[in-house]
Amino acid sequence: MEPCSLACLGAVLGSIVLAAGTEARWATFSQPGWQSGQKPGEDTQISVILALRQRNLAFLEERAQRVSDPSSPEYGQYLSHSEVSALAGPSEEAVMVVKDFLDGASGGHYRFSKAHDFAIFYCSITCTERLFSTTLLLQHGPQSPPVSRIRAATPISLPISVSSVLDGISLNAPILMPRRPKPFVLTPFLYPASGRLAPRIDPLLVAGDGFLMLRFVAYCANGEVNRDRLEQGVCSSSGERPTRIVSFEILVVQEPSVQKVVSMPAVPLVLGQRAGNCGQQVGCVEFNATLGSILNYMTTRVVIRAFFNDGSVTDFSNPTEVRPVWPLPYTTPDFLSRHYNMPLNMPVQHPRNAISVAEFLGQYYNPADLETFFRVMGIQSWPQTAQPWTLGPDVPQTGSVLGGEAQLDLQYIMAMAANVSTWFWSVPGKELATTQEPFLQWLFEVADHNETTAPLVHSVSYIDDEESVPVWFQRRVDVEFMKLALRGVSVLVASGDDGASGYRIRHGNTQFCNRARPGFPASSPWVTSVGGTQLSNVASPVCGYTSDSMVVNCREEGEVACSSDRGGLITTGGGFSNTFPMPWYQREAVGKYLRQADSPLPAAEDPWQFNRSGRAYPDISAVANNYLIWMGDGLESTAGTSASTPLIAAMVAHWNELRLQRGEPQLGFLNPLLYTLAKAHPDAFNDVIIGDNRCGISECCERGFGAARGWDATTGIGSPKFDKVTELLRLRVPSAGVASLSSCMAATPRPAPWPVWMGAVILAGVTTMGCAFVVKTRRRGNAGTHALHKGLLERT
Ligand SMILES: *[C@@H]1O[C@H](CO)[C@@H](O)[C@H](O)[C@H]1NC(C)=O
Ligand SMILES: *[C@@H]1O[C@H](CO)[C@@H](O)[C@H](O)[C@H]1NC(C)=O
Ligand SMILES: *[C@@H]1O[C@H](CO)[C@@H](O)[C@H](O)[C@H]1NC(C)=O
Ligand SMILES: *[C@@H]1O[C@H](CO)[C@@H](O)[C@H](O)[C@H]1NC(C)=O
């Protein structure tokens, strides 16, 4: 509907109020896992974000394509904040309609974003219910610690003049949450008090880099659990004439072809001990052992038996009593630096080179932990950038957690991009108590920062199943990302940790294995979606080959799709959007995947459906598991595409640095460049060809997507070889430069098309030297900008 002119406004506003409640975007809030609870207090203040409908979006989208396409003459010619606002912003009439509507509320206040594309309205529950003709209830979700939000429990009704100038409002918007697995906690296992002879191993083994830890209790000859400590003699108090246990034998089986037998005398020198949990009033003793020299990467199982002093021996324990584990190296900044050939402690310097991590829901970080992490990991820092600049709160709030998410994001971004200016963009902002929709709120805040202040890269680790996010919300968020692409901002989004079937299969809900469930915002065509890999020594099919006469063991380690059934703890998200069609930059790469035979896709008639025409993700990947982070009083290991995302963000900061130092624009929206590079220079990426994403965090489904040569729906184009990609970016030369050095000197900082370089790297390499030098001497300082940049930020 055309926005109404001013003349007709009064007429519409004065006329009958038409219910807009039948449209999906005005529907009652509903989201799997969330239930309505009680009524919030009438005087509770809440905020409502109104997303105004914008203009010229098709035109802007075309423009966004050109400024991010390396083969376009307009590549890198980003628009300013005010240019985007002027083009996309709603009409004055639309703004008037919303103003009049909000002025009609019985109380409250509101403000618009600079571009008038969002409004935020604050009022009491009663006032809000009346204005939006709905009923508000508290909603309780699967969040830990519990968070409740206020949402519309009946459809929203608005005058048609108002609903027609809005995309939607936050009262029924989805609640996006971090999807990280809970930290690994060793809960005491309840051992049977009697009825067996073989020792019992706690099913939860701990596996690390080349070692295993196990805990077990022993059973005596009479079938009772052992209550004696090692110094007393194991089983020395069992019965009249006790038979004591003198040693244990542990057999470690690592598939396919490694066995290791460890004999452990029952003495305090080799075993640890503490009180075990064998039921009430049974004071059993639990032993623990650490086994070293274990091979990494292999599926590892453990059994144990006991030797008595009369020469008798028990059976081995049942191998199925213990979950298999996969010993793996730990991921540290040093490891990542070696694995990806990324410089550590090489400071980025350009004052515009800033990165932001978005954190929602009261996640906060601890500055002391960050310092300790740097010290423990041998990372250098510089006073100006040693701590992030905080937007919004970073203080323990009621209901907030010392954020594993926030700590992970910050520790790795700041370690891998030394001296980068980091924004800790924490939402909800000042209005913690009332902010109901952190994601829209974040977009509102991001939209209000212009190019003098805005970070060039955003790292976002929040996701939900696309199907539980209303379509209007997805489209609006996608448009905001497109506007950021126009402005030359890179948005990196984690592809999710629940494989192809999504979050809902968690907790044994394998009925949701019935089809692919893409995740949002990973499925937005205007973000770079980052998947997860893990290291393996079976990174190509031949490595796992076994036959009657041969076992092929590979020594080299490589990346495979991260999956919980190979010890990855999470499974890389990936798939095809049901909302967004496949964008231009990936059609060729994804088309090949749809036709390949390495890992054939479920047939069209297979009941497990996925959308062949949808936006396919992830775009790129990196190692996502076994990250060591400093949490409070020690190191913890964690996994997630929320680890690989900040890592890629740090790489982008280095790449942006290279360009900014030469007076060139930053990389902006990355995907067209990434797919172009992967096609022209496949050797600049680690192509991941083993693994799949049919599992989730613990459950596995039958179907998922498989890794394959080239792009695939588990790891995208693979992980970047940082040094190779850097070299390609360094060799890039303005097409003018190829012609002659003088035209090179005259070249503006605006970049020229890239295809010349794509084909003629050697020629370009020679010419670039001159160009790079010339451009460098032309570089202008930006100190003033930087001061402004800092002055605007608040520290809490
Ligand atoms: C047993 O576990 C404790 C911690 O619970 C640890 O300090 C000790 O080193 C372990 N002992 C062995 C032999 O693994
Ligand atoms: C760190 O970055 C700032 C700009 O943010 C720059 O002024 C400073 O020189 C850099 N420090 C080092 C050691 O390169
Ligand atoms: C960017 O925003 C800041 C603060 O709002 C303002 O001072 C500055 O003039 C703006 N710059 C441009 C180019 O609009
Ligand atoms: C598949 O994706 C397209 C967008 O590319 C969408 O229009 C269509 O509805 C989707 N199909 C299903 C079954 O969801």
Span 643-675, pLDDT tens digits? 999 999 999 999 999 999 999 999 999 999 999
| Nearest ligand, CA 354 | 2
pLDDT band at residue 366 using 50, 70 and 90 as cut-offs: confident
pLDDT for the residue 454 = 85
Percent of the chain whose predicted confidence (pLDDT) is above 70: 84
| Nearest ligand, CA 290 | 1
pLDDT for the residue 710 = 97
Q: Is the CB of 578 under 6 A from ligand 4?
A: yes
Percent of the chain whose predicted confidence (pLDDT) is above 90: 66
Q: What is the pLDDT of residues 730-742, one digit of tens each?
A: 987 433 333 333 3
Asked whether 486 and 75 are in contact (CB, 8 A), the reply is no
pLDDT for the residue 433 = 46
pLDDT for the residue 184 = 62
Q: Span 429-457, mean pLDDT?
A: 75
Q: CA-based Rg of the chain, rounded to a whole angstrom?
A: 29
Ligand 4 atom nearest to CA at 611: 1
Distance 790 CA to ligand 3 centre (A): 13
pLDDT over 70 at 18, yes or no: no
The pLDDT mean for the chain works out to 85
pTM: 0.87
Peptide bond into 618 cis (omega under 30): yes
pLDDT over 80 at 596, yes or no: yes
Ligand 4 atom nearest to CA at 581: 5
Strands (E), 590-728: 614-617, 620-623, 627-631, 634-638, 685-686, 719-720
* Distances from the Cα of 562 to the Cα of 508, 515, 694, 760, 794, angstroms: 20, 20, 11, 36, 38
Q: What is the Cα–Cα distance from 739 to 565, expressed in whole angstroms?
A: 54
Q: What is the Cα–Cα distance from 688 to 458, expressed in whole angstroms?
A: 25
pLDDT for the residue 23 = 85
Q: Whose CA is nearest to atom 7 of ligand 4?
A: 579
pLDDT over 50 at 327, yes or no: yes
| Nearest ligand, CA 420 | 2
pLDDT over 60 at 145, yes or no: no
By most ligand atoms within 8 Å of CB, the mutation choice from 446, 451, 453 for ligand 3 is 453
pLDDT for the residue 12 = 45
pLDDT for the residue 17 = 52
pLDDT for the residue 551 = 87
pLDDT over 70 at 701, yes or no: yes
pLDDT for the residue 740 = 31
Q: Which residue has the tokens 């606002």?
A: 85
pLDDT over 80 at 519, yes or no: yes
pLDDT for the residue 362 = 58
Asked whether 23 and 95 are in contact (CB, 8 A), the reply is no
pLDDT over 50 at 186, yes or no: yes
Q: What is the pLDDT of residues 528-572, one digit of tens each?
A: 999 999 999 989 999 988 899 998 888 889 999 999 999 999 999
pLDDT for the residue 796 = 24
Q: What is the pLDDT of residues 208-229, one digit of tens each?
A: 999 999 999 999 999 999 999 9
Q: What is the Cα–Cα distance from 375 to 371, expressed in whole angstroms?
A: 6
Q: Which residue has the higher pLDDT, 299 or 770?
A: 299
Q: Which residue has the higher pLDDT, 405 or 607?
A: 607
Q: What is the Cα–Cα distance from 109 to 743, expressed in whole angstroms?
A: 57
pLDDT over 70 at 103, yes or no: yes
pLDDT over 50 at 503, yes or no: yes
Q: Is the CB of 385 under 6 A from ligand 2?
A: yes
pLDDT over 60 at 628, yes or no: yes
